[in-house]
Amino acid sequence: MNPIINILLVLFAGSILAFGIDSINRKWTGWVAFLSVLLATFNLLSQTQASDVVFSLGGIRLKWGLSSLRLYFTYIIIILNLLAFLYSIDYMKGKARLGYFYSAFLLTVLGMFGVVISKDFVSFFIFWEIMTWSSFLLIIYNAYYKIKTEGLKYMIFSAIGAYAMLTAIVFVYHFYGTFDIATAIDQGVFSFENHIYIPLFFALAFAIKAAIMPFHIWAPSAYADSPMSFTSVFSGAMSKMGIFGLLLVLSTYYALHNPQAYIFTQILAWLGGITAAMATIYALIQTDAKRLLAYSSISQLGYIVVALSTGTKLGVMAALYLAVLHAVFKGALFMVAGAVEKQAGTTDMTKISGLIRKMPWTFFVALVSVIALTGIPPVGGFVGKWLLYEALITESNNYFLVIVIFFSSTAAFLYAYRFLFGLFLGQEEKETENVKEAPVKMLIPMLILALISIVTGIMPGLIFKPAAAAMREIGFENVNWEMTSLSNVWGNQTDLSLIGLFIAAVFVLIFIFLTFKGKKNTRYVGTKDISSSGELWKEGENWTFQQDFYKPFERAAAPLYKYKMNKIWEDFGNALEAFFNFFRRIYTGNGQTYALYVIGFLVLLLLFKDYIFR
Amino acid sequence: MEGIGLKIFGAFLTAILAFTVGMFYGGLRRKITARVQNRVGPPVYQNFIDLMKLQGKQTNIAHGFMGHMAPMWIIIAAMTVLMFIPILHNGLWFDNLTFKGDLIFILYMMVFGSLGMALGAGQSGNPNSAIGVTRGLSLMVGYEIPFVLSLVAIMIQFHTTSLQDLMNYQYQTGRWIILDNPFAFLAALMSSLGMFRYSPFDIVGAPAELASGPVSEFGGKYLGTMMTGGSVFAFIKLVLIVDIFLGGAGNVHMSGLAGTLIGLGELLLKTFLLYMIPVFIGLVSPRFRTEQAIRFFWKWPTFFGILAVIWAVLHPVGS
């Protein structure tokens, strides 16, 4: 049987089964869900050369299939989900409504997979909606009381995106007479020459899903309030559906480099850059680790959009690479936040600190992922940053965008450090005395993700290979890549294997020196035994530095903090409300007024009868 | 195998050179500061004595895993960056790995040490250290902007991201890049003031305010290792700016040992003169508050950086 059908069936059956089995034995729910994703993974890995599935539904020809670009995103979805489901088993232990959670989660996976395999607009839209609605159920799983504020934001923005997409699809069929994506692209749907609103409507839907400013305001709370095992997928894989869509929209531009689309890509690039910068400076003032990661996630998506919009080989390669890497390290970081939440009860950084000795493995994962996030060599994040900068500097004219990006990635050090310090470093307080390391089933997925980060830092070719195949599909021929080194169009290169080797060599030397020199006389002390300029620590005194962490930076960057997108949308909403309130007055509830309307309408008809009844 | 042996020898030689020069410059700064303040001051080799004392300490205080790793990370970052920066243009032993990494890599690798330091300081649990770290990171956001602007300007003007290519250009034409793009040099020089963290930007260590900030919990072998790394970094920053803007060193058309020695002399002269700029500015300046320091870098240096980029677009040199 075709693996596509198999995967869809397995996920769908898993969703129903998980819902049913929850009422029989709650212990099995997570395992059933995990097994169904595992089966889907095996199906995918066993047969990557699937033929297209074509069938007719109500006279519309639906077409599902895989190709190298689709396969690339399928790998992100399936592998991250597999790890997230394994993580879920222990993370969700003891929580209510497990059946609801897992069945919605599996439906979301089904939706994501469906979006990627759809080769026609109708099934694309259907799967897109399945994904959106089931993820909405997961967002309100924890915060049911927030349904009217935060849940509604997500719903409204998703609905706007969906309607925009639906309108665009109708227009596509009207003007081009086809629902097939490849055919429509060949006929120039996304060429920006005529019917410019079609690509714009599509881009709106995708930008909303990728949380690009100004459509991002649903994202911080949606990411932070969902269960963390879902958020790692939500931010890691589901936001990539927006990137996947944007790749489709821009594929005409990549192939032809038509000047009509150029302006659009420039606007998109700047939107991405501003998203990256603004989300970063908001991330570093958060006191909740989950919200910090949520903002960080938005900012990382900004980088990817910038890379996409360059439209050059290196840039698109950077986008595809960052898409994977972001899924890897942000998935791991959200899992870390979930592990801390599970073990310590909260992720509020003003309440907990100094977990490094209690949760060393979790800290290790957090450390590697943070290094990947900030893009410091020799971990995989550096490759993405390198590609992005080289693409912007050598292949585009957006020199000032480089600065915006560089500003945000330097400021990213601030929140990255805030995250590590807030949860793991600093004073060990009484409140966290009894915290234990996370369960093994939660640690394994995190460690696997950390390992991927490390390996890709030395051998990025592992990702370049499928990425190059995917790029061939959207109009880039002969993409050069090497397993362990990077090179730009000016012929400059960076050799990662040498760097890795050198760092390893120095590390070993200095490690031996520092560890064994005077080992016997080295005394390990706690966090209360510190130099304090003569003041002695008294029992119960709190020396934790967690409040107003970056106050000086906030003061320096005060003008940037003035602009709040939330406020602008709120004003917009209020204006709309006032506007519609005015029209509501038509319905007075008075019969006489309505009679007047009818008479007025008839009078109008009579007056203009020559024009109307010709 | 002879090639590899020579490489390793060259690497050690470079490390020793960077370490010695960095430590010596540090001692010189202390001496000059003392003379300006009308004191006798320590001898110029005082830093070496300090280092020997620190490494010879009998007991060491360790604050856990990250505290143990922090000095290591600083050394790793310093050594790695050092290997990728061309010390001399045609020195005998100093070309190390300079063809294998470019400016973007160097920029990012330089932060590696700071992050390790920040994490180590964080684990000690000392609030002063953490405050110092937040100040340092905030300051970094300040000075990186003009510095990157100036580097981007140079990269697009000369159509290369490789430091070696920039040096080759200056060697072949005999023309320093400071003449091709003076604004980039100004921006880089001003941001280097922040990198050196002397007054008025000594907000990270902030003597008498933060109890020496991030390093306050480190002692013995840890502090000694950090000091070594810091000295190498001081040398790296100087060489980086000399290489990019001031023609590099080793431009004499002589090969062999004599050429290398003359090149080293040239390098020492240029780096020393460059080093005196932050030192003398530090001598006459009081300390900024953190937000003032950040604001400073976002004003004039950034303005010069933007000018540099515009200049680079108008006057492209590379093909």
Residue B35 located in a structural domain? yes
Instruction: Provide the b/e sequence for B92-130 (b: ≥16 CB within 10 Å).
Output: bbbbbbbbbbbbbbbbbbbbbbbbbbbbbbbbbbbbbbb
- Per DSSP, A237 falls in state I
Judged by CB atoms closer than 8 Å, whether chains meet at A494 and B104 is answered as yes
Dist CA A498 CA A510 (whole Å): 18
A 556-575 near B (Cβ less than 8 A)? 556-557
pLDDT tens track for A150-183: 788 888 889 999 999 999 999 888 888 888 888 8
Residue B80 located in a structural domain? yes
Q: What is chain B's mean pLDDT, rounded?
A: 85
Residues A171, A173, A177, A179, CA torsion sign:
positive
Dist CA A594 CA B264 (whole Å): 96
Q: Is A386 on the interface with B (CB under 8 A)?
A: yes
Q: Is A364 on the interface with B (CB under 8 A)?
A: no
Number of domains in chain B: 1
Give A394→chain B minimum CA distance, Å.
7
The position carrying tokens 């990382």 is A300
Sorting pLDDT into bands at 50, 70 and 90, what band is A518?
confident
Residues in chain B with CB shorter than 8 Å from the CB of A366 are: none
Residues in chain B with CB shorter than 8 Å from the CB of A494 are: 100-102, 104-105
Is the per-residue pLDDT at B225 higher than 70?
yes
pLDDT tens track for B32-87: 999 999 999 899 899 999 999 888 887 778 888 888 888 888 888 998 888 888 88
Q: What is the mean pLDDT of residues A524-535?
A: 75
Range of the domain at A361: 257-476
Q: What is the CA radius of gyration of chain A?
A: 26
pLDDT tens track for B76-93: 899 888 888 888 876 556
Residues 6+ apart with CB under 8 A from A382: A375, A376, A457, B105, B108
Judged by CB atoms closer than 8 Å, whether chains meet at B108 and A376 is answered as yes
Residues in chain A with CB shorter than 8 Å from the CB of B126 are: 530-532
Tokens of A219: 């994202």
Q: Tell me: do A472 and A594 sit in the same domain.
A: no
Q: Locate the chain A residue with the closest alpha carbon to B84.
A: A499
Q: Is A503 on the interface with B (CB under 8 A)?
A: yes
Give B57→chain A minimum CA distance, Å.
9
A493, amino acid identity:
Q
3-state SS class at A569: helix
Give B319→chain A minimum CA distance, Å.
10
Residues in chain A with CB shorter than 8 Å from the CB of B122 are: 417, 420-421, 425-426
- pLDDT of B31 reads 92
- pLDDT of B99 reads 67
Q: Is A389 on the interface with B (CB under 8 A)?
A: yes
Q: Which residue in A257, A233, A250 sits closest to A332, CA to CA?
A: A233
Number of domains in chain A: 2
Q: Tell me: do A261 and A389 sit in the same domain.
A: yes
Contacts 24+ apart (CB under 8 A), B256-264: B256/B92, B257/B92, B259/B90, B259/B91, B260/B88, B260/B91, B260/B92, B260/B93, B260/B94, B263/B88, B263/B89, B263/B90, B263/B91, B264/B17, B264/B88, B264/B91
Best mutation target, B138, B149, B163, B201, to test chain A (most A CBs within 10 A): B138
Best mutation target, A407, A417, A519, A544, to test chain B (most B CBs within 10 A): A417
Q: Tell me: do A463 and A601 sit in the same domain.
A: no
Q: Is A142 on the interface with B (CB under 8 A)?
A: no
Q: Tell me: do A596 and A447 sit in the same domain.
A: no
Dist CA B235 CA A243 (whole Å): 44
Q: Is A510 on the interface with B (CB under 8 A)?
A: yes
Sorting pLDDT into bands at 50, 70 and 90, what band is A390?
confident
Write the CA distances from B32 to A384, B36, B197, B286, integer angstroms.
45, 6, 17, 17
Q: What is the mean pLDDT of residues A48-74?
A: 82
Cα–chain-centroid distance for residue B315?
A: 29
pLDDT tens track for B266-317: 889 999 999 999 999 988 888 888 888 999 999 999 999 999 999 988 888 8
Residues in chain A with CB shorter than 8 Å from the CB of B148 are: 402-403, 406
pLDDT tens track for A67-93: 888 888 988 898 999 999 999 988 888
Q: What is the mean pLDDT of residues A574-583?
A: 90
Which of the pair, A493 or A273, is modelled with greater confidence? A273
A 462-491 near B (Cβ less than 8 A)? 488, 490
Kind of pairing between the strands at B60-62 and A522-524: parallel
Dist CA A545 CA B129 (whole Å): 10
Cβ of A201: how many Cβ atoms within 10 Å? Answer: 23
Residue B124 has its nearest CB partner, among A518, A523, A530, at A530
Q: Tell me: do A304 and A436 sit in the same domain.
A: yes
Tokens of A443: 């640690």
Residues 6+ apart with CB under 8 A from A144: none
Residues 6+ apart with CB under 8 A from B10: B93, B94, B95, B96
Is the per-residue pLDDT at A147 higher than 50?
yes
Q: What is the mean pLDDT of residues B102-106?
A: 85
Q: What is the mean pLDDT of residues B193-215?
A: 81
pLDDT tens track for A276-307: 999 998 988 888 889 999 999 999 999 999 99
Best mutation target, B65, B73, B98, B108, to test chain A (most A CBs within 10 A): B108
Judged by CB atoms closer than 8 Å, whether chains meet at B291 and A389 is answered as no
**ipTM score:** 0.92
End-to-end CA, chain B: 38
Is the per-residue pLDDT at A575 higher than 90?
yes
Residues in chain B with CB shorter than 8 Å from the CB of A403 are: 145, 148-149, 152, 305
Cβ of A55: how many Cβ atoms within 10 Å? Answer: 9
Residue A408 located in a structural domain? yes
Range of the domain at B244: 2-314
Q: Tell me: do A314 and A453 sit in the same domain.
A: yes
Residue B60 has its nearest CB partner, among A426, A522, A553, at A522
Tokens of B71: 């000095």
A 104-133 near B (Cβ less than 8 A)? none
Best mutation target, A361, A397, A549, A553, to test chain B (most B CBs within 10 A): A553
Residue B145 has its nearest CB partner, among A390, A403, A507, at A403
Judged by CB atoms closer than 8 Å, whether chains meet at A525 and B61 is answered as yes
Q: Helical H runs in A189-312?
A: 197-209, 219-225, 228-233, 239-256, 259-283, 289-310
Percent of chain A exceeding pLDDT 70 equals: 99
Dist CA A402 CA B313 (whole Å): 14
Is the per-residue pLDDT at A594 higher than 50?
yes
- pLDDT of B165 reads 83
Last residue of one domain, picked from the residues A458, A476, A494: A476
Is the per-residue pLDDT at A522 higher than 80?
no
Residue B167 located in a structural domain? yes
Residue B319 located in a structural domain? no
Q: What is chain A's mean pLDDT, rounded?
A: 86
Which of the pair, A587 or A604, is modelled with greater confidence? A604
Sorting pLDDT into bands at 50, 70 and 90, what band is B209?
confident
Is the per-residue pLDDT at B1 higher than 50?
no
pTM as predicted: 0.92
CA atoms within 13 A on the CB side of A177: 0
- pLDDT of B112 reads 85
- pLDDT of B146 reads 92
Query: In sequence order, what are the beta bridge partners of A524?
Result: B62
End-to-end CA, chain A: 61
- pLDDT of A473 reads 83
The position carrying tokens 């897109």 is A128
Q: Is A524 on the interface with B (CB under 8 A)?
A: yes
Dist CA B138 CA A415 (whole Å): 11
The position carrying tokens 């998109």 is A268
Residues 6+ apart with CB under 8 A from A364: A447, A450
Write the CA distances from A313 to A490, B288, B318, integer angstroms.
13, 45, 22
